[in-house]
């Protein structure tokens, strides 16, 4: 599929984000947010198939070609949400839709709940709420996170002698992806270093969260969303086995065959997700 893609860089004052732009200038404004340790190329197959949309697919902070947060800072969900609002202001978008996968879907839900007047549509791919915790575990979790943060200075990123080795490592990651998906992510994710290649992503992204919402807090965000929403559930993904959670949702839900990265792993998955979202946005 030969589709023109524009590069974009947005200076938000506190950080600079990079990304890709798809679709006509007069299309419905959409900000697309990828998953954990991925980048804007997560939407390389899906975005060209979506009609009537002006999609800005960002490398979120610490990912891809975007800047890392300064020393001492972290990657809290609220900080990502702030980045997105600032990015919308740079784009001149008072109101916009959100298209999110995994971590990007979680951030999208929280932002739509927090600022319902800003978000027109919510299109989610196999993501909804963050991992939750129990109140009584809060101190233990903070201690674990602080110890991991202190150990980070002694850790070194993996270096691969060839780009192909880096691609193979991504294929076998915590969430496996197809070779084609890994190659697309590597285009924005791998960088040359002494001795070979390494992934660009900030090492702090692998640190455990110092605090988690309770299940009730997380679901309160979901219930506070005012805009239309559509959730694609991957049949072999992360949400399909959480039937109790899915039964509580006010969104339209569609279950499609494939794994967690069904929109990126192959052309068929991208087409199925696109057909779903084109109907949702009214451009079928």
The full set of domain ranges for the chain reads 6-139+213-281
CB 137 within 8 Å of CB 201? no
Judge whether 122 and 111 are in contact, CB under 8 Å.
no
Share of the chain above pLDDT 70, in %: 99
6-139+213-281 folds as: Rossmann fold (3.40.50)
Residue 62: the pLDDT is 98
How confident is the model over 142-151, as a mean pLDDT?
A: 96
Residue 67: which pLDDT band, with cuts at 50, 70 and 90?
Answer: very high
What are the tens digits of pLDDT across the range 199-225? 999 999 999 999 999 999 999 999 999
Q: Has residue 193 got a pLDDT over 90? A: yes
Q: Which run of H or of E encompasses 72?
A: none
**pLDDT on residue 224:** 96
Q: Residue holding tokens 């002494």?
A: 194
* Phi/psi of residue 231, nearest 5 degrees: -115, 120
| Among 6, 48, 30, CA closest to 273 | 48
Active site members: 102
- For the question of whether the overall pTM of this predicted structure is more than 0.95, the answer is yes
Question: Tell me, what DSSP letter sits at residue 160?
Answer: B
Q: What is the pLDDT of residue 84?
A: 98
- Helix (H), strand (E) at residue 66: none
Q: Quick one: pLDDT at residue 1?
A: 54
Q: With 80 as the cut, is the pLDDT of residue 3 above it?
A: no
Residue pLDDT, tens place only, 72-87:
999 999 999 999 999 9
Across the chain, what does the average pLDDT equal?
A: 96
Average pLDDT rounded to a whole number, residues 12-22? 97
The pLDDT value given to residue 17 = 98
Q: By three-state DSSP, how is residue 10 classified?
A: strand
**pLDDT of amino acid 2:** 56
d(CA 66, CA 83): 12
pLDDT tier at 154, thresholds 50, 70, 90: confident
As a whole-number percent, the residues of the chain with pLDDT over 90 amount to: 92
What is the pLDDT at residue 155? 86
Q: How far apart are CA 55 and CA 98, in angstroms?
A: 9
Geometric angle at alpha carbon 248, from 256 and 238, rounded to 5°: 40
Specify the DSSP element, H or E, that contains 141: helix 138-151
Pairing of strands 196-199, 190-193: antiparallel
Partners of 190 in beta bridges:
199
The whole-angstrom distance between residue 113's C-alpha and the CA centroid of its chain comes to 17
Higher pLDDT pick, 2 / 139: 139
What is the model's pLDDT at position 104? Answer: 98
Residue 265 to residue 182: CA distance in whole angstroms: 8
Which residues in 182-226 belong to E strands, given as ranges? 190-193, 196-199
> Does the pLDDT value for residue 102 go beyond 80?
yes
């Amino acid at each position: 599929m030969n589709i023109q893609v524009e590069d974009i860089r947005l200076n938000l004052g506190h950080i600079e984000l990079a990304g890709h732009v798809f679709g006509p200038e007069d299309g419905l404004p959409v900000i697309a947010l990828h998953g954990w340790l991925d980048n804007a190329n997560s939407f390389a197959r899906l975005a060209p198939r979506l009609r009537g949309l002006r999609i800005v697919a960002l490398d979120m902070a610490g990912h891809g070609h975007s800047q890392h947060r300064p020393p001492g800072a972290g990657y809290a969900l609220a900080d990502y949400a702030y980045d997105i609002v600032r990015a919308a202001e740079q784009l001149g978008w008072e109101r916009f839709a959100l298209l999110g996968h995994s971590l990007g879907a979680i951030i999208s839900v929280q932002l739509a709940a927090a600022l319902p007047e800003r978000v027109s549509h919510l299109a989610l791919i196999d993501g909804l709420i963050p991992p939750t915790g129990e109140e009584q575990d809060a101190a233990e979790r903070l201690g674990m996170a602080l110890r991991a943060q202190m150990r980070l200075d002694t850790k070194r990123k993996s270096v691969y002698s060839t780009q192909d080795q880096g691609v193979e490592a991504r294929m076998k990651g915590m969430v496996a992806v197809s070779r084609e998906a890994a190659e697309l992510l590597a285009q924005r994710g791998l960088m040359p270093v002494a001795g070979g290649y390494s992934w660009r992503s900030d090492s702090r992204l692998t640190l455990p969260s110092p605090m988690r919402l309770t299940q009730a807090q997380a679901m309160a965000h979901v219930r506070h969303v005012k805009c239309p929403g559509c959730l694609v559930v991957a049949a072999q993904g992360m949400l399909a086995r959480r039937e109790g959670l899915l039964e509580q949702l006010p969104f339209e839900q569609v279950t499609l065959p494939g794994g967690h990265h069904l929109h990126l792993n192959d052309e068929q998955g991208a087409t199925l997700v696109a057909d779903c979202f084109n109907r949702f946005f009214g451009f079928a």
